[in-house]
Amino acid sequence: MNRKQFCIGALSGLLGFSVTVGAANGVPRCGVLSAMQDPKRRKSKWGKNTLSYFMAGRDTRELNRHVWDDEFRLAFDAWSEITPLTFERVRIRQRADIVIDVSRDKEESFGERGGVLAWAQMPPKPNYNGQLITKFDIAEFWVLPERYFRGTVLRSVAAHEIGHLLGLDHSEDENALMFPYINNALKPREDDIIKIQQLYGSNTIDG
Protein backbone atom coordinates (compact mmCIF):
# COMPACT_ATOMS: atom_id res chain seq x y z
CA MET A 1 0.00 0.00 0.00
CA ASN A 2 1.61 3.26 -1.09
CA ARG A 3 -1.25 5.64 -0.43
CA LYS A 4 -2.86 6.51 2.86
CA GLN A 5 -6.33 7.84 3.20
CA PHE A 6 -5.98 11.36 4.52
CA CYS A 7 -9.28 11.57 6.36
CA ILE A 8 -12.36 9.37 6.54
CA GLY A 9 -14.86 12.07 7.38
CA ALA A 10 -15.74 14.89 9.66
CA LEU A 11 -18.21 15.03 12.53
CA SER A 12 -19.43 18.49 13.36
CA GLY A 13 -19.57 19.70 16.92
CA LEU A 14 -17.37 19.70 19.98
CA LEU A 15 -17.28 15.92 19.97
CA GLY A 16 -16.80 15.78 16.22
CA PHE A 17 -13.54 15.13 14.46
CA SER A 18 -12.03 14.19 11.18
CA VAL A 19 -9.56 11.34 11.19
CA THR A 20 -6.75 10.44 8.90
CA VAL A 21 -6.55 6.71 8.25
CA GLY A 22 -4.89 4.11 6.11
CA ALA A 23 -6.64 2.83 3.02
CA ALA A 24 -7.49 -0.84 2.63
CA ASN A 25 -6.61 -2.21 -0.81
CA GLY A 26 -6.73 1.32 -2.20
CA VAL A 27 -10.38 1.80 -1.19
CA PRO A 28 -11.23 4.64 1.22
CA ARG A 29 -12.63 3.50 4.55
CA CYS A 30 -15.32 5.98 5.51
CA GLY A 31 -16.54 5.45 9.05
CA VAL A 32 -18.71 8.56 9.45
CA LEU A 33 -20.81 10.70 7.17
CA SER A 34 -19.26 13.99 6.28
CA ALA A 35 -20.83 16.72 8.35
CA MET A 36 -20.77 19.13 5.47
CA GLN A 37 -23.07 16.93 3.41
CA ASP A 38 -25.75 18.42 5.63
CA PRO A 39 -26.64 21.82 4.07
CA LYS A 40 -27.35 23.19 7.55
CA ARG A 41 -23.67 22.69 8.45
CA ARG A 42 -22.09 24.30 5.39
CA LYS A 43 -21.84 27.73 6.99
CA SER A 44 -20.22 26.51 10.20
CA LYS A 45 -17.24 28.76 10.82
CA TRP A 46 -15.50 30.96 13.35
CA GLY A 47 -17.12 34.21 14.39
CA LYS A 48 -13.85 36.16 14.33
CA ASN A 49 -10.85 36.56 12.06
CA THR A 50 -8.06 36.43 14.63
CA LEU A 51 -7.56 32.96 16.08
CA SER A 52 -5.09 31.85 18.73
CA TYR A 53 -3.47 28.43 19.03
CA PHE A 54 -1.61 26.55 21.74
CA MET A 55 1.05 23.88 21.15
CA ALA A 56 0.18 21.36 23.85
CA GLY A 57 2.36 18.50 22.63
CA ARG A 58 4.87 17.47 19.98
CA ASP A 59 6.48 14.25 18.77
CA THR A 60 10.19 15.09 18.95
CA ARG A 61 11.79 11.81 17.93
CA GLU A 62 12.48 12.96 14.36
CA LEU A 63 11.66 16.68 14.46
CA ASN A 64 12.55 18.86 17.43
CA ARG A 65 10.02 21.13 19.13
CA HIS A 66 11.20 24.21 17.25
CA VAL A 67 10.70 22.47 13.90
CA TRP A 68 7.19 21.40 14.96
CA ASP A 69 6.40 24.99 15.88
CA ASP A 70 7.79 26.29 12.57
CA GLU A 71 5.90 23.75 10.47
CA PHE A 72 2.60 24.63 12.13
CA ARG A 73 3.30 28.34 11.73
CA LEU A 74 3.85 27.77 8.01
CA ALA A 75 0.67 25.70 7.80
CA PHE A 76 -1.34 28.48 9.43
CA ASP A 77 0.33 31.09 7.21
CA ALA A 78 -0.83 29.19 4.13
CA TRP A 79 -4.46 29.88 5.13
CA SER A 80 -3.74 33.49 6.13
CA GLU A 81 -2.37 34.22 2.67
CA ILE A 82 -5.77 33.68 1.05
CA THR A 83 -8.21 34.84 3.74
CA PRO A 84 -8.58 37.68 6.27
CA LEU A 85 -7.72 35.16 9.00
CA THR A 86 -4.69 35.66 11.21
CA PHE A 87 -3.27 33.21 13.73
CA GLU A 88 -1.27 33.90 16.84
CA ARG A 89 0.39 31.46 19.18
CA VAL A 90 -0.41 31.76 22.89
CA ARG A 91 1.33 30.21 25.89
CA ILE A 92 -1.76 29.46 27.98
CA ARG A 93 -4.07 26.65 26.87
CA GLN A 94 -7.22 28.20 28.32
CA ARG A 95 -6.74 31.30 26.16
CA ALA A 96 -6.44 29.37 22.90
CA ASP A 97 -9.10 28.95 20.24
CA ILE A 98 -7.22 25.95 18.83
CA VAL A 99 -5.24 23.35 20.81
CA ILE A 100 -2.66 21.21 18.99
CA ASP A 101 -1.60 17.99 20.69
CA VAL A 102 -0.22 14.50 20.12
CA SER A 103 -1.45 11.15 21.37
CA ARG A 104 -0.95 7.40 21.18
CA ASP A 105 -4.34 6.60 22.70
CA LYS A 106 -5.91 3.58 20.97
CA GLU A 107 -9.35 4.89 21.88
CA GLU A 108 -8.60 7.75 19.49
CA SER A 109 -7.56 5.19 16.84
CA PHE A 110 -3.91 6.08 17.38
CA GLY A 111 -0.91 3.92 18.18
CA GLU A 112 -0.11 2.15 14.90
CA ARG A 113 1.96 3.62 12.11
CA GLY A 114 0.07 3.89 8.85
CA GLY A 115 -3.31 3.95 10.53
CA VAL A 116 -4.90 7.11 11.88
CA LEU A 117 -2.60 10.08 11.36
CA ALA A 118 -4.60 12.90 12.93
CA TRP A 119 -8.04 14.21 13.74
CA ALA A 120 -9.54 17.65 14.12
CA GLN A 121 -12.75 19.08 15.46
CA MET A 122 -14.85 21.40 13.32
CA PRO A 123 -16.85 24.50 14.21
CA PRO A 124 -20.30 23.22 15.25
CA LYS A 125 -22.24 26.29 14.13
CA PRO A 126 -21.94 29.66 12.36
CA ASN A 127 -19.98 32.34 14.22
CA TYR A 128 -18.47 29.83 16.65
CA ASN A 129 -16.30 31.25 19.45
CA GLY A 130 -15.26 28.28 21.61
CA GLN A 131 -12.21 26.03 21.62
CA LEU A 132 -11.38 23.24 19.15
CA ILE A 133 -8.73 20.51 19.32
CA THR A 134 -6.60 18.64 16.81
CA LYS A 135 -4.35 15.68 17.66
CA PHE A 136 -1.57 13.88 15.80
CA ASP A 137 -0.49 10.26 16.21
CA ILE A 138 2.87 9.74 17.93
CA ALA A 139 3.17 6.38 16.16
CA GLU A 140 3.69 8.12 12.83
CA PHE A 141 7.12 9.09 11.52
CA TRP A 142 6.75 12.84 10.95
CA VAL A 143 9.11 14.45 8.46
CA LEU A 144 9.81 17.71 6.64
CA PRO A 145 8.50 18.14 3.07
CA GLU A 146 11.89 17.45 1.48
CA ARG A 147 12.01 14.08 3.25
CA TYR A 148 8.53 12.95 2.19
CA PHE A 149 9.90 9.60 1.04
CA ARG A 150 10.87 8.70 4.63
CA GLY A 151 7.57 9.28 6.41
CA THR A 152 4.51 11.49 6.73
CA VAL A 153 4.90 15.18 5.91
CA LEU A 154 3.88 17.05 9.05
CA ARG A 155 3.10 20.36 7.37
CA SER A 156 0.82 18.72 4.81
CA VAL A 157 -1.26 16.97 7.47
CA ALA A 158 -1.22 20.09 9.67
CA ALA A 159 -2.51 22.31 6.86
CA HIS A 160 -5.22 19.75 6.05
CA GLU A 161 -6.38 19.52 9.66
CA ILE A 162 -6.37 23.31 9.98
CA GLY A 163 -8.76 23.33 7.03
CA HIS A 164 -11.15 21.20 9.08
CA LEU A 165 -10.67 23.43 12.13
CA LEU A 166 -11.74 26.38 9.98
CA GLY A 167 -14.86 24.59 8.77
CA LEU A 168 -13.86 22.86 5.53
CA ASP A 169 -14.92 19.37 4.59
CA HIS A 170 -13.11 17.05 2.21
CA SER A 171 -12.76 17.82 -1.46
CA GLU A 172 -13.31 15.50 -4.41
CA ASP A 173 -10.54 17.30 -6.30
CA GLU A 174 -7.47 15.06 -6.28
CA ASN A 175 -5.20 18.11 -6.39
CA ALA A 176 -6.82 19.82 -3.40
CA LEU A 177 -5.21 20.06 0.01
CA MET A 178 -8.53 18.84 1.44
CA PHE A 179 -8.61 15.72 -0.78
CA PRO A 180 -9.10 12.64 1.46
CA TYR A 181 -5.83 11.05 0.32
CA ILE A 182 -2.35 12.34 0.99
CA ASN A 183 -0.96 14.23 -1.98
CA ASN A 184 1.69 16.13 0.02
CA ALA A 185 0.07 19.49 -0.79
CA LEU A 186 1.53 22.14 1.50
CA LYS A 187 -0.91 24.95 0.74
CA PRO A 188 -4.57 25.34 -0.21
CA ARG A 189 -5.12 24.86 -3.91
CA GLU A 190 -7.84 26.14 -6.25
CA ASP A 191 -10.75 24.15 -4.85
CA ASP A 192 -9.67 24.83 -1.25
CA ILE A 193 -9.31 28.54 -1.95
CA ILE A 194 -12.79 28.82 -3.44
CA LYS A 195 -14.40 27.07 -0.49
CA ILE A 196 -12.52 28.85 2.30
CA GLN A 197 -13.19 32.24 0.71
CA GLN A 198 -16.88 31.40 0.57
CA LEU A 199 -16.72 31.17 4.36
CA TYR A 200 -14.37 34.01 5.25
CA GLY A 201 -13.75 36.12 2.16
CA SER A 202 -10.40 36.85 0.54
CA ASN A 203 -7.25 38.49 1.79
CA THR A 204 -7.88 42.10 0.78
CA ILE A 205 -4.16 42.89 0.89
CA ASP A 206 -3.52 40.34 -1.84
CA GLY A 207 -6.72 41.21 -3.63
In this structure, what CATH number is given to the domain that contains residue 143?
3.40.390.10
- Number of structural domains in the chain: 1
Concerning whether 161 is annotated as a catalytic residue, the answer is yes
**Torsional class of 201: left (φ above 0), alpha (ψ -120 to 50), beta (otherwise):** left
Q: What's the pLDDT at 61?
A: 84
7 lies in some domain: no
**Cα torsion 179, 183, 189, 190: sign:** negative
Residues of the chain with pLDDT under 70: 1-42, 106-109, 111, 205-207
Give the model's pLDDT for residue 152.
87
| The predicted structure's pLDDT at residue 107 | 62
How confident is the model at residue 27, as a pLDDT? 27
Tell whether 207 is covered by a domain.
Answer: no
Catalytic residue among 81, 112, 161, 174: 161
The domain of 33 spans 13-200
